[in-house]
Amino acid sequence: MVTTSQPTIKHCYEGMLIYDARAAKKDLDALETSVTELFTKHGVEIAASHRWGERRFAYEIKRQKKGFYILYHVNADPAGLAGLRRDLGLQEALLRFLFLRIPSIPETFEFPSDPEERDDRRGRRDDRPRDGERRPRDGGDKPAEESKAAESKTDGDAPAAAAPAADAPAAEAPAGDAPAAEAPAAEGGDEAPKSEGE
């Protein structure tokens, strides 16, 4: 019986590897070479690699506050990628890694801008109000004093329907004081109650 080997289907993946920043400063080329050898050992073809550089973590990873990021675009079969993940987990200088399947390898790639340079909606520390100054919740550009003045103007202009009148009847009056229009209908009559003036 002759067995024929079926060709393995390779998929495109994007992989982010985070190296220990101290080890990367010492010899980044040696770290990349060892990882590249692991890629070729498992049949993973590197289409492109992009150095993102050293970044601060939002929280410590393995007692480290910084890491060196490298992004890889690769072609690999699922079995080869599983073996690569297993071997990458044994690398001491590698803090974290993640591979995601993508539809195709991009022609060009550009990293997102540096968080310090990016103008996002959250404002940076130096944009925060100082000396007890409060910023309005709606995110407007008016200072707190102007927004308070605007709120007080709208409170005085409230429609009369919103405030109960002093001489308005109570919501629930006793049954004996009910007007004739709201009196219950007589027995056996299908007529609607008549209002005053009919």
- At 152-162, the pLDDT tens digits run 555 555 555 55
- Tokens describing residue 81: 């990628």
Residues 141 and 163: their CA atoms lie apart, in Å, by 32
Q: Give the residue-averaged pLDDT of 118-122.
A: 51
Residue 82 belongs to a domain: yes
Residue 35 belongs to a domain: yes
- Say if residues 55 and 66 touch (Cβ distance below 8 Å): yes
Residue 76 belongs to a domain: yes
Residue 142 belongs to a domain: no
Residue 84 belongs to a domain: yes
Residue 55 belongs to a domain: yes
Residue 157 belongs to a domain: no
Residue 58 lies in domain: 22-102
- Tokens describing residue 150: 């605007």
- Say if residues 67 and 103 touch (Cβ distance below 8 Å): no
65-92: pLDDT as tens digits: 999 999 999 999 999 999 999 999 999 9
- Say if residues 53 and 112 touch (Cβ distance below 8 Å): no
Number of domains in the chain: 1
Residue 32 belongs to a domain: yes
Question: Does 44 have pLDDT greater than 90?
Answer: yes
Q: CATH number, domain at 87?
A: 3.30.70.60
Instruction: Supply the pTM of this predicted model.
Output: 0.54
Which residues have a Cβ under 8 Å from the Cβ of 68 and sit 6 or more positions away?
18, 19, 20, 21, 24, 25, 28, 51, 53, 54, 55
pLDDT of residue 108: 78
pLDDT of residue 107: 80
- Average pLDDT of the chain is 74
What one-letter code names the amino acid at 142?
A: K
